[in-house]
Amino acid sequence: MSTATTAPEAPGVVRSALAYRPHPRHVPVLATLALLVAMWSAGALRYENFSHPQVLLDVFINNGFLLVVGVGMTFVILTGGIDLSVGSVVALTTVLSASLLEKQHWNPLLVIATVLLVGTVLGAAMGTMIHVFDVQPFIATLAGMFLARGLCYVISLESIPIDDKLFTALATKRIPLGGDLSVTWSVVIALATVAVAAYVLHQTRFGRTVYAIGGNQQSALLMGLAVGRTKIAVYAISGLCSALGGVLMAFYTLSGYSLNAVGMELDAIAAVVIGGTLLTGGVGYVFGTVLGVLVLGLIQTLIAFDGTLSSWWTRMFVGAILFVFVLLQRAVTTRGDTR
């Protein structure tokens, strides 16, 4: 009796499963995930030991600072803005940290707190210019980029090695994950930053306001949302993440150098866009940015495993992928507008 009553429902269930279509805003993220799986599979088939889990963990280790910077850039782009200063703030953080540690002999914890504060204040200042004085984000953050990079050269023209015990320990200490797998503290800090950002964006009123501003700023104003404070806070968060990324780069290189992170702002934007965040704002996920950073890291890893290609091929591949994803975003948004 029971089998007779449930049998007719099975074809409908199958048809509904086959007819499933993802939401348009999920399409870019799913495309990034598919690209990541395809790249990983191709590398595993072509190169020996590429499929070892430590290879993927090394991608996180080598790109932890970019992931943190990308998280801050995600907040900015979700509001429809842009931040060109992040690479210069990363460099300023490394130089300032190295100078305070090795020349002024500050306590390392005080150094970290100071550079994080500097990055946050610089970001908030750019956000204030954008909101209060109605300066275009491109111009305001371009000014911040020149200011931060100029301060690097004022502090030191030469690379400053870092010998501080805490920085050295955090740079070299490996956290075992079982077997022969391990990560560094930079990976832990980066993933913690991702988790906090995801919670803020999806579980708090501030996060909902960020999405509302990117969707339609005028509507957000009419709804009584704190648009001004939120925009300033978003750039402050980007500055904070850039400074934290600079601290992680200081761990990674154990030095401070004025030419660090040249072009990192473009890598961060590329990772965010490849991860599915719309440049016009309002749509995107931190998880997508993680996937975007992994795509960039896997491209570098594939080129390293090949051994015959120049590192400049990385830029070419990233440019091609970015072009495709911009077109995909355009197609998705156009389709969504016609519904």
Q: How confident is the model at residue 337 (pLDDT cuts 50, 70, 90)?
A: low
What integer is the mean pLDDT of 158-177? 94
- Please give the pLDDT value at position 313: 81
pLDDT tens column, 38-54: 999 999 999 988 999 99
Which two tokens mark 271? 């990772």
Count of CB atoms within 10 A of residue 296's CB? 26
**How many angstroms separate the CA atoms of 112 and 119, rounded?**
11
Beta-bridge partner residues of 182:
176
| 183 phi/psi in degrees, rounded to 5 | -135, 170
Residue type, 246: G
What DSSP state is assigned to residue 26? G
Position 328 confidence tier, pLDDT thresholds 50, 70, 90: confident
C-alpha to C-alpha distances, 310 to 159, 270, 307, nearest whole angstrom: 26, 20, 8
How far apart (Å, rounded) are the C-alpha atoms in residues 317 and 45? 20
Residue (of 237, 206, 228) closest to 131 by Cα position: 228
pLDDT at position 15 over 60: no
**337 or 88, greater pLDDT:** 88
pLDDT digits (tens, 9 = 90+) for 276-297: 999 889 999 999 999 999 999 9
Is-contact 297 289, C-beta < 8 A?
A: no
Summarised one tens digit per residue, pLDDT across range 103-140 is 999 999 999 999 999 999 999 999 999 999 999 999 99
> Given this model, what pLDDT does residue 200 score?
97
Which residues have a Cβ under 8 Å from the Cβ of 240 and sit 6 or more positions away? 72, 116, 119, 120, 123
pLDDT score at 18: 47
The answer to whether 277 touches 77, Cβ cutoff 8 Å, is: yes
17 pLDDT tier (thresholds 50, 70, 90): very low
213-229 residue pLDDT tens: 999 999 999 999 999 99
pLDDT tens column, 241-273: 999 999 999 999 999 999 999 999 999 999 999
Which domains can be identified in the chain, with CATH numbers?
Answer: 25-43+52-338 (1.10.3470)
What is the residue-averaged pLDDT of the chain? 90
| Closest to 283 (Cα-Cα) out of 210, 190, 230 | 210
In percent, how much of the chain has pLDDT > 70? 91
Burial label, 135 (beta-carbon count in 10 A; 0-12, 13-18, 19+): middle
Burial call 38-51: b when 16+ CB within 10 Å, e when fewer? ebbeebeeebeebe
How far CA 135 is from CA of 49, 83, 141, 142, 234, in Å, comes to 51, 13, 10, 11, 15
